[in-house]
Structure 1
Amino acid sequence: MADLPPLREVIARHGLSASKALGQNFLFDEQLLDRIAAIPGDLSGKQVLEVGPGPGGLTRALLRSGARVTAIEMDKRCLPALAELGEAFPGQLRVIEGDALRLDHAELMGGEPFAVLSNLPYNVGTALFVRWLGGERWPPLWTSLTLMFQQEVAQRIVARPGGSIYGRLAVLAQWRSDAKLAMKVHRSAFTPPPKVMSAIVHVEPGAMPEGVSARILERLTEAAFGQRRKMLRQSLKGVSGAVEALAKVGIDPQRRAETVSVTEFVELARILSV
């Protein structure tokens, strides 16, 4: 195992500081990072995609676990520190300079299964998450998503119907996946400390409900929660056939989106997918 210098030393030597514009917050606690890397289980020899590695805190934990890591980083300042990690773990690390939102991840990973682990930059985290959860192809190439979010966002992902935090993210994460809150991370663990607490969500793909189009379910949830204070008979007007489908599923059109369960959204989407 490579004998690595402390992360603080690496950051100081390369003159790095967290960029607010890029949504960066660095983690230095290596025991915590090892615990995060262990959440998906044994990664030895497996492909892992990491977005926004920064100076490589989580990256070195993943490399210690034996994973073969592809890291996407758009901050040029961090590339020399990541290159040093690559030298310390020959053949285990590939660094791609670029914007993760603009890259084809399946193509990048050679069309082979991969786990995703990332302390996601706050400014792109939700967009990437929704992208990984989308598409008609299921199961996806990713075998699990282990992602750091602001705690408020993490709670929305695992929320149940009936509360104000239940929304589109919860439905998209739960209709064909198992999503759970794996770990809370105190703001003091980061440098600089963010204003909010963080949490790690772990998602594993489940069975795809038969006869349901992902595109239609995404459109349904976008419309329903886009006007969440309105009754469904109003918010779903823009989705062809949706208001009529409510009666077939036995959903009162006067209900609001936050009261509709994941199963009910799936049944609506199934009717509209015919």
Structure 2
Amino acid sequence: MSTIDNLPALRDVIAKHELAAKKSLGQNFLLDLNLTARIARLAGDVSAADVLEIGPGPGGLTRGLLAEGARRVLAIEKDPRCMAALAEISDAYPDRFQVINGDALEVDPLAYLTPPIKVAANLPYNVGTELLVRWLTPPAWPPFWQSLTLMFQREVAQRIVAQPGSKAYGRLALLAQWRSDPRIVLELPPEAFSPPPKVNSAVVHLTALPAPRFPADPAILNKVVAAAFNQRRKMLRSALKSVSPDIEAHLTAVGIKPTERGEQIGLEAYCALARRIADNPA
């Protein structure tokens, strides 16, 4: 028996439903229910929230979230093989769990959820970064979610929390830190998963800020940051030429040396540059 509910152990669920993980779907299953319950607790108090989960697989984290008292869990699962196993969880938690067989990149979860909403997921490796960028760049802010508690490859997690001057620092760090407070809250070795991936993993918890950390037009900021890191080795006066013909003057005006490179510049300075460009269109 498992240690968090009266449902079977995950190994038994996987064997019963023949759920060998598929590399093509980016699947790596966590089998320790005590560990999935720990990750669920890292999402904070879920008793008054709806929780969105992407890629539940056999349902380990799902069961953790429900055992922790989540008001309701909506899971989006692309693999139809998992549906029978997830239906057994639905039977055990009537009215609190719904699963949709579909692609998380195509399904609109807001049609099924009631605020406040939290997101918790052991994200499939092949879509994790794309989903995060979508959640960080909605048309309006604050977003639909209060927090994101997400499993990534450790390398991706380090890029999310990276600081200026490090090799991991780039567009993902700036996007995440502009509008949220991201922290790595747990690291996991390959042997925690089945099958073991070739890399370590980490859980990142991101809390949405009520407003961006510094004012800036999102479209201009994104354009500046994308250009700055498109060719990391270039000086900013060259890398940002496509953004504005007067880029050297703009850089100097906000206190950035035109000879600096993108990875040397902090978030506040990037936002100041975006405002300067917005106020002085070419």
Query: Do the two structures share a fold, i.e. TM-score over 0.5?
Result: yes
Q: Find the aligned partners of 2:216 and 2:111 in 1 and give their Cα distance.
A: 26
Question: For residue 254 of structure 1, what is the amino acid of its counterpart?
Answer: T
Q: Which runs of 4+ in 1 moved over 4 A?
A: none
- Quick check: 221-230 or 264-273, which moved more? 264-273
CA contact 2:78–2:102 (8 Å) conserved in 1 = yes
**How big is the shift at 1:106?**
3.2
Q: Unpaired runs of 5+ in structure 1?
A: none
* Residues 230-269 of structure 1: pairs in structure 2 closer than 5 A: 230-240=234-244, 243=247, 244-269=249-274
Which of 213, 216, 230 is residue 212 of structure 1 equivalent to? 216
- Quick check: 260-269 or 8-17, which moved more? 260-269
**How big is the shift at 1:270?**
2.1
**Residues 99-157 of structure 1: CA distance to partner in whole angstroms, max 9, x if unpaired?**
111223334425x2310000000000000001101134111110001000000110111
TM-score (norm 2): 0.93
Q: Does 1:175 align with 2:178?
A: yes
Q: Find the aligned partners of 1:266 and 1:54 in 2 and give their Cα distance.
A: 40
CA contact 2:128–2:152 (8 Å) conserved in 1 = yes
CA contact 1:118–1:146 (8 Å) conserved in 2 = yes
Q: Find the aligned partners of 1:163 and 1:241 in 2 and give their Cα distance.
A: 29
Q: Does 1:135 align with 2:138?
A: yes
Change (3 A) 1:65 1:210: same
TM-score (norm 1): 0.95
**Residues 24-66 of structure 1: CA distance to partner in whole angstroms, max 9, x if unpaired?**
0000111111110001221114100000111111011011112
Q: Find the aligned partners of 2:134 and 2:30 in 1 and give their Cα distance.
A: 25
The number of aligned residues is 273
Q: Unpaired runs of 5+ in structure 2?
A: none
Name the residue aligned to 1:163.
166
**How big is the shift at 1:242?**
6.9
**Residues 152-210 of structure 1: CA distance to partner in whole angstroms, max 9, x if unpaired?**
11011101100111111110110121111111011110000000000000000123246
- Quick check: 147-156 or 212-221, which moved more? 212-221
- Quick check: 239-248 or 120-129, which moved more? 239-248
Name the residue aligned to 2:230.
226
* Residues 68-147 of structure 1: pairs in structure 2 closer than 5 A: 68-110=72-114, 112-147=115-150
CA RMSD of aligned residues (A): 1.5
Question: For residue 225 of structure 1, what is the amino acid of its counterpart?
Answer: F
